[in-house]
Amino acid sequence: MELKRVVVTGLGAVTPVGNTPEEMWKNLLAGVSGAAPITSFDASLLKTQFACEIKDLDVNAYIDRKESRKLDRYTQLALISAIQGVTDAGIDSEDIDKNRVGVIYGVGIGGIHTFEEEITYYGAHREDGPKFSPFFIPKMIADIASGHISIRYGFHGPNYTTTSACASSSNALADAFNLIRLGKADIIVSGGAEAAICTSGVGGFNAMHALSTRNDDPTHASRPFSKSRDGFVMGEGAGCIILEELEHAKARGAKIYAEMVGEGESGDAHHITASHPEGLGAKLVMQEALRDAGMQPDDIDYINVHGTSTHVGDISEMKAIKEVFGDAAYKLNISSTKSMTGHLLGAAGAIEAMVAILAVQNDIIPPTINHEEGDEDEEIDYRLNYTFNTAAKRTVRAALSNTFGFGGHNACVVFKKYSE
């Protein structure tokens, strides 16, 4: 069976550094940090009191006020990103066979805001007994965002959610890619969302010693590949990537950002939270993505790395890149945009895949910010080009995006310039 080609025809993004793909991209290239003291709740008693929150977003400009009250924050963000992506791709049209349009969105946690609110204010602690909102379960469950997107547009194709921690939305993209190239759908609205900046979200990650505690200097807290890194910075947001079968896109005159050409998936089989110290799963997933794409290491010009700003994670990913790419590793540009957006958990894969797509389209690499002279870890190979602090212009023929999740879940997606 000949596999169909898959292209990107629409983008949508709501992030801590911009509420559209264009605004996000501009700020990433400028090295803008989205980190600041938390404003959405009182974090004064937590070890970490800052995060990368979304700023100045008017939810009701996209979603009816009455309807938005029935949605958890992560679903609101998912729906807004999808509205942007569908509009950009021009697929909300009577000319589109909506039976052939699917929705696959990833999320790592889901409706944690709703769960916290219901348990704290309405649930088990009431003197007159538990009393929950009838919207509690529909707001909380992890699959509901893809359902809302499907309902809004009447898309009857494959519809589900992928949940693999921080790899969730990369797995969503991989599934969408495979379904389209197998001919099971013409278009899939794919991506991911997460909104876990709340007491239980931040407090829970604090209990694991996973977050930076640089409360006196939030904008410099996410510092991948620097010796002084002390954990990741929590982010929130959503990204939408419209994937479409090439001939279908050409027939309707769609604009094409890039072509998706491969994906890889692997498991560390090592630890529930720590990555394999030698990067075994990361190595396997990049090798599989290259094999699937029919590419050699020297075909890739840019890797948007997982790069969370944790000690073991940054080292293991660097080791894996060196093993997979060999001498070609030193010709690559590498960057971690988590240094600016923070870690968007289940939405990270979609946003970072979008960064890879935009790098391919525009021939420019966003930086890894916050690296200072003398802040070098003896376990990190600084002969690799981490694109520290300043964006780099270069031809980007193809780019790869890595995401690795708690549980040892690894996913990698590959995009290249589109040509006939």
Q: Give me the residue label for tokens 């990433």.
A: 28
Indicate the SS3 state at residue 78. helix
Among 259, 308, 301, which residue's Cα sits nearest to residue 282? 308
Q: Give me the residue label for tokens 């596999």.
A: 3
* Strands, E assignment, 65-183: 101-106, 159-162
Using alpha carbons, list the distances in angstroms from residue 420 to 254, 255, 258, 368: 14, 13, 12, 33
Q: Is 52 part of the annotated catalytic residue set?
A: no
Residue-wise DSSP of 103-121 = EEEE-SS--HHHHHHIIII
The full length of the chain comes to 420
Q: CA 144, 201, 212 angle in degrees (round to 5)?
A: 135
Amino acid at 80: I
Query: Which of 113, 148, 306, 371 is an active site residue?
Result: 306
Q: Is 412 part of the annotated catalytic residue set?
A: no
Query: Which of 52, 166, 198, 240 is an active site residue?
Result: 166
- Evaluate whether 145 touches 83 at the Cβ level (below 8 Å): no
| Helical H segments across 154-209, by residue range | 168-181, 199-207
Indicate the SS3 state at residue 34. coil
407: burial class by Cβ within 10 Å (0-12, 13-18, 19+)?
Answer: middle
Query: Which of 276, 343, 371, 409 is an active site residue?
Result: 343
Among 60, 62, 148, 61, which residue's Cα sits nearest to residue 103? 148
Q: Is 409 part of the annotated catalytic residue set?
A: no
- Sheet containing 237-245, strands listed edge to edge, beginning at the edge strand earlier in sequence: 159-162, 101-106, 187-194, 237-245, 6-14, 258-267, 409-416, 398-405, 302-304, 333-335
Residues serving a catalytic function are 166, 306, 343
